[in-house]
Amino acid sequence: MHKILRQTQLSPNVIRLDVEASRIARTRQPGQFVIVRKGEGSERIPLTIADARTDEGSISLVIQAAGKSTRELVALQPGQFIQDMVGPLGRATELIAQGCALCVGGGVGTAVVYPIAQGLHRNGVQVISVIGGRSKPWVIFEPELRRLGEVVVCTDDGSYGRHGFVTDAVKDLLSQRKIDVVYVVGPVPMMRAMAELTRPLKVHTIVSLNPIMVDGTGMCGGCRVSVGNETKFACVDGPEFDGHLVDFDLLSDRLSTYRQIEQQVNARHEEACKIGLNR
């Protein structure tokens, strides 16, 4: 059982949960994730560890409410519990030891970029973060990233920071500065666009993939992705891979496997809420 210590709304649909998990807080490294299962009958959901505090033995999970399971998680209040949590899983981020790194985060992916930026900063690497959101309220982790270096904020509607997508900002930065590596976490189309942008420039680009998982220990193979035409399991071989080698079409296609079932579940869930079956 893992107690919720704090619940913070970061954007209209993104919640930060600080959860008791002292063992994981001690050993986690940038890029690693946990799998949580809220309670009996709940799904197992992989969530990247956004931050950790060893003093209070907690980790931070940043969750975007999408389906029934994530909505249940973001509804958890301080004092309530997540029944099962396992980790830290996956390989740690391959951090460079010197030079300059671009950390690019889109939406909820910005929370995943944060520990990477932290790790780079600790290594003495110059960190430039480029983060984006639909509009101002959707931009998350800006103050945290500012503590680690320069931050360029982009909004789709121009309500805050630079008007436009993160790709445009990154394009400019790549032409102005010497960038050794780009780390990108965000929606699949954004990671794909970023990989296409850096490919001709031959800038090493690392992306963090979020395929469907069950056990997270390599046992089921549900999270298989194609990297350099080789099948890899994101849970044990990843979740981070060379963005220039990832088959993003396959990733987004496999992510849609249960979309129809989820829509039905969501509709049932909403109907039940409306008529008061959940009360």
Partner 1 sequence: MNPRPSLKERIKIERQSMPEQAASDRQRNFKEVNLGFDERLAMLEAQRCIQCKEAKCIAGCPVLVDIPRFINFVAEGNLAAAAHSLLGDNALPAVTGRVCPQETQCEIECVRGRKGAPVAIGYLERFVADWAYQQPNQAPMETAPPTGRKVIVVGSGPAGLTAAGELVRRGHDVTIYEALHKPGGVLVYGIPEFRLPKKIVHDEVERLKQAGVKIECNVVVGKTYTLPELREHFDAVFIANGAGLPVFMNVPGENLKGVYSANEYLTRVNLMEAFAQSDTPVLIGKRVAVLGGGNVAMDAARTAKRLGAEKSMIVYRRGKAEMPARLEEIHHAEQEGIEFEFLVAPVEVVGTPQRWVSGLKCIRMELGEPDASGRRRPVPIKGSEFVIECDVVVVAIGSRANPLLTSTCPELKLNKWGFIEVDDQGMSNLPGIFAGGDIVRGAATVILAMGDGKRAAHAIDDYLKTK
Q: How far is the CB of 76 from partner 1 (least distance, A)?
A: 15
Residue 164 near residue 106 (C-beta atoms within 8 A) = no
Local structure of 57: helix, strand or coil: coil
Which residues make up the interface to partner 1 (CB under 8 A)?
23-24, 27, 37, 41-44, 68-69, 83-89, 214-222, 224, 226, 231, 233, 236, 250, 253-254, 256-258, 261-262, 265
**DSSP 8-state symbol, 103:** E
* Residue the block writes with tokens 């107690």: 3
Closer CB to partner 1, 5 or 220, in the complex: 220
Any idea how long the chain is?
279
Closer CB to partner 1, 5 or 250, in the complex: 250
Q: How far is the CB of 233 from partner 1 (least distance, A)?
A: 7
Half-sphere exposure of 42 (CA within 13 A, CB side): 20
Closer CB to partner 1, 141 or 233, in the complex: 233
Residue type at 213 in one-letter notation: M
Closer CB to partner 1, 13 or 70, in the complex: 70
Terminal CA-CA length for the chain: 25
Cis peptide before 211 (omega within 30 of 0): no
Closer CB to partner 1, 135 or 266, in the complex: 266
Residue 54: CB partners within 8 Å, gap ≥ 6?
22, 25, 26
Q: How far is the CB of 219 from partner 1 (least distance, A)?
A: 5
